[in-house]
Amino acid sequence: MAKPDIDSPYPLTADQIARFRRDGYVKLKNVLSADVIEHYGPIITSEVYRLNTMHLPIEQRDTYSKAFLQVGNIWTKNETVKEFCWGQRLARLAAELLGVKGVRMYHDQALYKESGGGVTPWHADQYYWPLSNANTVTAWIPLQAVPMEMGPLAFAKGSHRFEDGRDLGISDESEVRIGRSMKEHNYPLDDTPFDLGEVSFHYGWTFHRAGPNVSSKPRAVMTIIYMDEDMRLSEPSSTAREHDRRAFAADVEIGAVINGKMTPVIYHAA
């Protein structure tokens, strides 16, 4: 059977690119077909549960661990997941939104918010990344529709230019401090649901959060983080960034282009 289409170009408009760069994120309808999600979703899900190492009951976890089951680098464990993560449609969108010739995958990461899972506190992803510039984008890929009760990803519009709070990882403190800053500086909140096949893209420095999952089903989401193919590795300035360097760029010298075995070029414009 032929694989579902994950490679053909998505008809991205100039307005959508402008909105992404102005707001720090964009939500795009019908990026993935129902066939694509039906084909890859169950395989990703089975790998998430096979590789998951968090087995404490939700009520015994800290805030970070209540937010979701988190499993990364799944593409290195399963050929079908690798095929999905190397899909050209998503990678081309990332490159066009960033305005670069090509993108590498920094890493993949499944974020499964279990039934009863708590809030994902306010944060910016790039807090964790030892990267030389801001040409990064996270594709947030729901494997089902995400109504409000499941905790859709919510963005503070324009917050990728706001620097206060970039020193905070996901925590109770980040939820309070960044949430307060977003209100005080009048960054509008977009917490709208996601339709089946809808995918969002946000800059590494865009502040975002998600509500709890009060539904009876897990909120299954795959993410792929892309970076400019010319991104360089910066000296890790925190324990979190040193952890990422070891996980994703252990074979790359500080200051060099991040062209290691874990960070392949996924898309390059012809």
pLDDT in tens, 100-131: 999 999 999 999 999 999 999 999 999 999 99
As given in the structure block, the two tokens for residue 137 are: 């984008």
What does CATH list as the number for 14-268?
2.60.120.620
Q: What mean pLDDT is reported for the chain?
A: 95
Q: Which of 2-6, 20-24, 104-108, 156-160 has the lowest mean pLDDT?
A: 2-6
186 has pLDDT over 90 = yes
Q: Which band of pLDDT confidence, cut at 50, 70 and 90, is reported for residue 69?
A: confident
The torsion angles phi and psi of 242, rounded to 5 degrees, stand at -65, -40
Place of tokens 């040193």: 242
For the chain, the domains span 14-268
- Is 27 within 8 Å of 194 (Cβ atoms)? yes
Closest CA to 25 of 171, 175, 149, 188: 188
β-bridge partners, 142: 221
Q: How many residues does the chain have?
A: 270
